[in-house]
Structure 1
Amino acid sequence: MAELLWYHYLLIALIFVWSGFVRSGLGFGGAALSLPFLLLIDNNPLIFLPIIAIHLLVFSSSTVVISAINNRNIGGTSTPFGAGINWHYLRYALLIMIIPKLLGVFGLITLPATLMSSIIFTIVSIYAIGYILNRPFRSNSKTIDALFLMLGGYISGSSLIGAPLIIAVFANHVDKHQLRDTLFVLWFILVTIKMTAFITVGIDLQLIHQLWLLPCATIGHLIGLRFHKKMLTADSPLFFRVLGTALLVISMIGLVKGLL
């Protein structure tokens, strides 16, 4: 990271607490709902994406394992490990997403940081407008399913913020009680691909910053786990409208800064 002031580090810590909360509470959005705020502090996606990627690997794997153990404790030893995951649809979606995912990773590595930041702010602005209007992405045909999965795979490869598009498809084909764990397995696989590319080309993984940011994300993660069931049953359009408005303002500020 560039040389920052003390309050910048404080803001980064709070953003990662928020990121962990969103990720475990909703099952998605840890990157999409935090990256715009981070880029206003340091406008270089390759600074924060490795940190977010490692957090995803840690928390997605731990959440799925703990969930599987809890399911076995409830259902008895006859319950298969990973019964809370829709493996069939997961394999189908990965076949569609893998090539766009690799193309997105290539774009992230080769395109200028300022251009990638502008792309991220633009994508998040589109998501934000959907939240404000209470019109999230929806898919009602196999063609749109495939299109959303390919776009989501590409955006995930380039910036880790493809979740809203991917979830628009998965929510139609995966039972609600399996959705979060299935998505976490998907995020783990997609992030592993990205991390492999980072290591291959020698991108700094910012491991020193994991020493203080991983605990911050852990605090948010634990809080989010406590609220997960309530979020599954709650219909909270007001929450997403407020969140969408904040994201839209942040993204507009980021785009303007990028043009100056």
Structure 2
Amino acid sequence: MTDLSLIQYGLIAIVFVWSGFVRSGLGFGGAVLSLPFLLLIDNRPLVFLPLIAFHLLFFSSVTLITARVKNKKNATNVPSGIDWPYFKYAFSIIIIPKIIGVLGLVTLPTQIMSGIIFAIVTAYALSYIFNKPFSSNNKYIDVFFLMLGGYISGTSLIGAPLIIAVMAKHVSKYQLRDTLFLLWFVLVTIKMATFIYLGIDLQLVHHLWLLPAAGIGHIIGLRFHQHLLQGEQAVFYRVLGSILLIISSIGLYQILVEG
């Protein structure tokens, strides 16, 4: 990123503040809600993906450790921390498609793949916004969505909306963020290993100024997350649905522009 202007650097820093905010505030969205804006500044995905991946590994580990210490000190009857049974279940479904996506063993047309994802995400988002969750609870459809999300996560870092759409139905809101953080940590570790193996520049020098930027957003997001948990469950999922709708709208817009 040595060929960018000061204005571009400033805009990138702002986007990473936003990235840190949504990541800690909701437990997802650090990549999918920031990458579209970053690519408007500099259309080189492989410049930003290693930065986003490293930030996710760093801040998710910090959050999980902090949450674990806090839960031990403040024991309550409210379930918190990681939903281990569902994490193991979801990971067992996601891991094979994830590896397939990382290795590029199956290649789907980008437009078709993106269109399917954002159509599904839009449906889930509207159900959350209007407090009309899907009542079928069909485990086979959930498995399909988890597998597709795992594959997209392997090919890029934007499979989160599809995975969160399923996990939000099965994991308590008090455990959702930490469970997602653990899942992202494992999945992104695989992706980072791939970057290193392929010799992709990890942009290490830029962590010196982008980590503090993301850190500011991370701290603000932590407070926002606590505010969400203290509110009504319907409000929590309405906010979640609104974020998902923003994601799908950005994605559909990009598809139309590229088409």
TM-score between both structures, scaled by the size of structure 2: 0.82
Where in structure 2 are there 5+ consecutive unaligned residues?
none
Distance apart, 1:199 and its partner CA: 0.9
Give the Cα separation in 1 of the matches to 2:119 and 2:45.
19
Number of residue equivalences: 249
Distance 1:245 1:152, change over 3 A: closer
Tell me what 2:33 maps to.
Answer: 33
Q: 2:36–2:250: 8 Å Cα contact kept in structure 1?
A: no
Give the Cα separation in 2 of the matches to 1:239 and 1:87.
22
1:172 aligned partner, one-letter code: K
1:194 aligned to 2:191? yes
Distance 1:207 1:122, change over 3 A: farther
Where in structure 1 are there 5+ consecutive unaligned residues?
none
1:145 aligned to 2:146? no
1:205 aligned partner, one-letter code: L
Tell me what 1:181 maps to.
Answer: 178
Distance apart, 1:101 and its partner CA: 0.6
Give the Cα separation in 1 of the matches to 2:223 and 2:250.
29
Q: 2:84–2:179: 8 Å Cα contact kept in structure 1?
A: yes
TM-score between both structures, scaled by the size of structure 1: 0.82
SS, match of residue 51 in structure 1: helix
Aligned pairs for 1:46-65 (under 5 A) are 46-65=46-65
Tell me what 1:213 maps to.
Answer: 210
Query: Of the candidates 88, 93, 99, which is equivalent to residue 91 of structure 1?
Result: 88
1:158 aligned to 2:155? yes
2:253 aligned partner, one-letter code: M
Tell me what 1:4 maps to.
Answer: 4
Tell me what 1:170 maps to.
Answer: 167
Give the Cα separation in 2 of the matches to 1:200 and 1:22.
29
Q: 1:2–1:42: 8 Å Cα contact kept in structure 2?
A: no
Distance apart, 1:75 and its partner CA: 2.2
Give the Cα separation in 2 of the matches to 1:88 and 1:230.
27
Tell me what 1:248 maps to.
Answer: 249
CA RMSD of aligned residues (A): 3.3
Give the Cα separation in 2 of the matches to 1:119 and 1:211.
38
1:225 aligned to 2:222? yes
